[in-house]
Amino acid sequence: MRLYFTSDIQRVTSFTLPAKEEGAIKYVFDIHGAVLPQGKGISQHSFRTIDSFRMGQNSPDKLRVVIVSKEKNLNKKHSYEAKVLAIPLINGQKSTIGMVTRTSSIMSSIYSRINKKYTVVIDAGHGGRDGGASCCGNKKEKKVVLSVAKKLKSKLEDKGYKVYMTRTSDSFVKLPKRTAFANKKKADIFVSIHANAAPKKSLRKVFKGIEIYYLSPAKTQRAKEAAAKENSVMFEDKDYYTKNAYLSLISREKIVESHKLGIDVSNHMLKSVRQHYGAVEDGGVKTANFWVLVGAQMPAILVETGYITHPREGKNLMNGYYRSLLADGIANGIERYLKNKK
Ligand SMILES: [Zn+2]
């Protein structure tokens, strides 16, 4: 008998119990990380060669299969690989019985258990005396990004990830402390949330879009300008090791991983906001030397959620629903990246 799953089986444990039926054994197989389609509780199946076959959700992340059979040692003969659990039945069998367990509508609680092994550190840019970009009196980057960061935290937690924030209030946190915190938490991902600003007033209608940056020597003028702006607070911290020394140390692999993460986050952010807000400019995934990413020992990206100075984008960023869509996109992108990584 083969049980097919829509995703890889994590682990199968088995044990036996005495059965009521004469000469039969009750075999219990626990498939960890598996779940029945929603609304399906315990299902009963009948096969010619076994006395009884039952399947049910034993706990949110454990699917239990109970087989009563007169065959011996079934629990020792089972095997699993990738998406298939095979339980060989010998007596009077037409080889194997195929059965598909659809797990397409997997409950979020299952994802929770699976995702728990990953930790994400969210860094809301700026804070306290460092306001970041601002526009039109009331629009402040430090406020916008803290809101996105908080929404992102709860969305990632819903997906089951362990999440920490470098700041949870309007407080000033030095840049080196942000990645040092992520390293201490052994984060798998570091994501710094920002909002951009046009370099001068006359360009407010020109500069727009969602941009993702990862660390690597800056190439474009626009990337250099963005980095210069975000780095300005860093000039107060001259006692930090030099950026170039660090840049020469980051591995090719980490650059590639950060780039991949950036692409996933960018794709999902655009998808999320465009569904409700139509065209939102794709600013791309680019490299730049952001101090806040320096020192991160894990894939790290800096997300510019939009231009606070752009008339439409600035207005969107002040809207809670829009910020929630941004957070959805970032969370889905992170999930996508981590799923591919497995
Ligand atoms: Zn910023």
Give pLDDT, residue 115: 64
Distance 133 CA to ligand 1 centre (A): 6
CA 240-195-327 angle, to 5 degrees, is 105
Domain end residue (candidates: 69, 103, 137): 103
163 CA from centroid of ligand 1 (Å): 21
Residues 198, 164 share a domain: yes
Give DSSP secondary structure letters for 173-228: --HHHHHHHHHHTT-SEEEEEEEE--SSGGGTTT---EEEEEES---SHHHHHHHH
Q: Based on the domain organization, do 90 and 121 belong to the same domain? A: no
Taking 70 as the pLDDT cut, the residues of the chain under it are: 6-7, 36-50, 60, 89-115, 217-224, 227-229, 231-251, 342
Taking the centre of ligand 1 as the mean of its atom positions, its distance from the CA of residue 134, in whole angstroms, is 10
Q: How far does the centroid of ligand 1 lie from the alpha carbon of residue 265, in Å?
A: 18
Same domain flag for 174 and 52: no
For residues 15 and 139, membership in a common domain is answered with no
Q: Does residue 337 share a domain with residue 239?
A: yes
Question: Residues with Cβ within 5 Å of ion ligand 1?
Answer: 125, 132, 194, 230
pLDDT digits (tens, 9 = 90+) for 139-179: 999 999 999 999 999 999 988 899 999 999 999 999 889 99
Calculate ∠ Cα 333-297-272, nearest 5°.
10
Does a structural domain hold residue 111?
A: no
Question: What confidence score (pLDDT) does residue 33 get?
Answer: 73
User: In this structure, is residue 90 part of a structural domain?
Assistant: yes
Cβ distance 307 to 313 under 8 Å?
yes
**Distance from residue 71's CA to the centre of ligand 1 (Å):** 66
Give the distance (Å) from ligand 1 centre to CA of residue 290. Answer: 10
Distance 107 CA to ligand 1 centre (A): 36
What is residue 289's predicted lDDT score, i.e. its pLDDT? Answer: 76
Element (H, E) at 35: none
* Dihedral, CA of residue 225, residue 238, residue 179 and residue 207, to nearest 10: -10
Rounded CA gap, 123 and 303, in Å?
A: 10
Q: How far is the CA of 181 from the centre of ligand 1 (A)?
A: 18
Of 81, 103, 125, the residue at which a domain comes to its end is 103
Q: Give the residue numbers spanning the domain of 92.
A: 2-103
Element (H, E) at 78: none
pLDDT digits (tens, 9 = 90+) for 235-293: 444 444 455 555 656 667 788 899 999 999 999 999 999 999 988 999 999 988 787 88
pLDDT at residue 104 in the model: 32
Last residue within a domain, chosen from 103, 134, 155? 103
- The rounded Å distance from CA 149 to ligand 1 centre is 13
Task: Find out whether 31 and 62 touch, Cβ atoms under 8 Å.
Answer: yes
Residue 144 belongs to a domain with what CATH number?
Answer: 3.40.630.40
